[in-house]
Structure 1
């Protein structure tokens, strides 16, 4: 892993794969870090220079005063690309990472070879949901983050996966327990305020939309909405809950890789 010095702190990132290959950027979901993509790295790094990073407020990256915005988080991605002299990249984002991907597709599509939007929506939940969660974690601190971890398994994974792969489910959910409450709350505000429903038509880069049939956070209908609004987008749906890349790792990895290699 390495650190990029931004004006207000550091961004933690990791590179895997051939130095001369096209770059593939991976963006994590709210409450996780770059380790959420571990299952994908062996296959994807055979073909791409894979660039993972911890979103501001998560993992080893900076925690600055909130609220954040998706525009700010997208700016962090562009700053990372600029610092590493990467002019164009593929981008895969899940949930909040998918919102960042939408912002990049709308505002910086000239920097992208392709865009993959996983288990996300143009508008995720409502203000009441996010404001309640922000208040809870700011009042409860790290204990509130631990409580969120205990409740997240049911949202992030199907019961069948949680029962069959308890160690992997716990590994991912522990990321949430270790996330800074201040950083988490600031990112909740970014997700709360993001709404790209009327801007999706501006995305012109090749786009794959991935949804999970059991995802109650960002439902298949959210995915199909993006698919309809983005020009020439491709749609894939898997029997999974919110973190489909973890739950059905091999099938997810193969489907996204097929899309990336065809670009």
Structure 2
């Protein structure tokens, strides 16, 4: 897997952003951006294959993992600027970007607002818009009023994985459950506000990075139709539909890696 470093930077508004670098420093950098209610370990299973070709930069979004949890709501602009400040701190001028779910929104923001920093772009199990906005207000309020993350954790797991993975004691699912239960409610609610307020259906037409959109055929969070819509908005984007629910990188790891690596390392 090569060497790794793990540390943190502090953003301009005083929030700690934890990150980890894995792999050979001489290889091109691939930035991975996570789903809501996960941390950088959501990619652990893919690290060995990806570090054969890339140096991986993973990070915990604000409100998650080892990063700070400021009061919400958060904005997509702020989450995007967290990444820009991280790239600046590491003196990384241009990287490939792979974002899943909320990470896909952040990845779109980067390609729109700092296009010079984004080489190739992979948008997995995500959307340009998940409206109407008011549908998010109830879940945000309920989560902030709940005693803990238990009920929300089970809802997330049911939305992320197929029934066959949720039956029994799947080690991977248990890892995601532990992360969910350890995540602060304020971080999840603040990030839900990002999704509530984001509408990239017009601005995503500005994306010029070569783009691959990956959608899950059985995804109930960001549906295959959302993926098709996004691929139709981003100029020249390709679409790959996998037979998955939401966490395509986990459920169908080999097919996911085939799609990602085939796109990222193809000859120009």
**TM-score normalised to structure 1 length:** 0.95
Q: Does the 8 Å CA contact 2:15/2:62 hold for their aligned counterparts?
A: no
Q: 1:153: Cα distance to partner?
A: 2.1
Q: 1:164: Cα distance to partner?
A: 7.3
> CA 1:236/1:214 → structure 2, altered by over 3 Å: closer, same or farther?
same
| 1-structure distance, mates of 2:241, 2:181 | 29
Which residue, out of 3, 22, 31, partners 2:8? 3
Residue in structure 2 matched with residue 92 of structure 1 by the alignment: 98
Q: 1:52: Cα distance to partner?
A: 0.2
Please tell me the root mean square deviation across aligned C-alpha atoms, in Å.
1.3
Residue in structure 2 matched with residue 26 of structure 1 by the alignment: 32
Which residue, out of 136, 151, 154, partners 1:150? 154
What CA deviation, in whole Å up to 9, does each residue of 1:137-158 have, x standing for no partner? 21114x1x11111222221011
Alignment of 1:77-88 (within 5 A): 77-88=83-94
Residue in structure 2 matched with residue 224 of structure 1 by the alignment: 228
Q: Does the 8 Å CA contact 1:3/1:11 hold for their aligned counterparts?
A: yes
The reply on whether 1:37 has 2:43 as its aligned counterpart is: yes
SS state at 2:167 partner: helix
The reply on whether 1:209 has 2:186 as its aligned counterpart is: no
What CA deviation, in whole Å up to 9, does each residue of 1:138-187 have, x standing for no partner? 1114x1x1111122222101112333772211211322221111111111
Alignment of 1:244-259 (within 5 A): 244-259=248-263
Q: Does the 8 Å CA contact 1:203/1:231 hold for their aligned counterparts?
A: yes
> Which aligned segments of 4 or more residues in structure 1 are displaced greater than 4 angstroms?
none
SS state at 1:74 partner: helix
How many equivalent residue pairs?
A: 261
Which residue, out of 126, 148, 151, partners 2:132? 126
Q: Does the 8 Å CA contact 1:30/1:184 hold for their aligned counterparts?
A: yes
Residue in structure 2 matched with residue 186 of structure 1 by the alignment: 190
Q: 1:71: Cα distance to partner?
A: 0.8
**TM-score normalised to structure 2 length:** 0.94
What CA deviation, in whole Å up to 9, does each residue of 1:213-251 have, x standing for no partner? 010111111101111111111111111101111111121
Query: Could you list the runs of 5+ residues in structure 2 that have no partner in the other structure?
Result: 1-5
SS state at 1:204 partner: coil
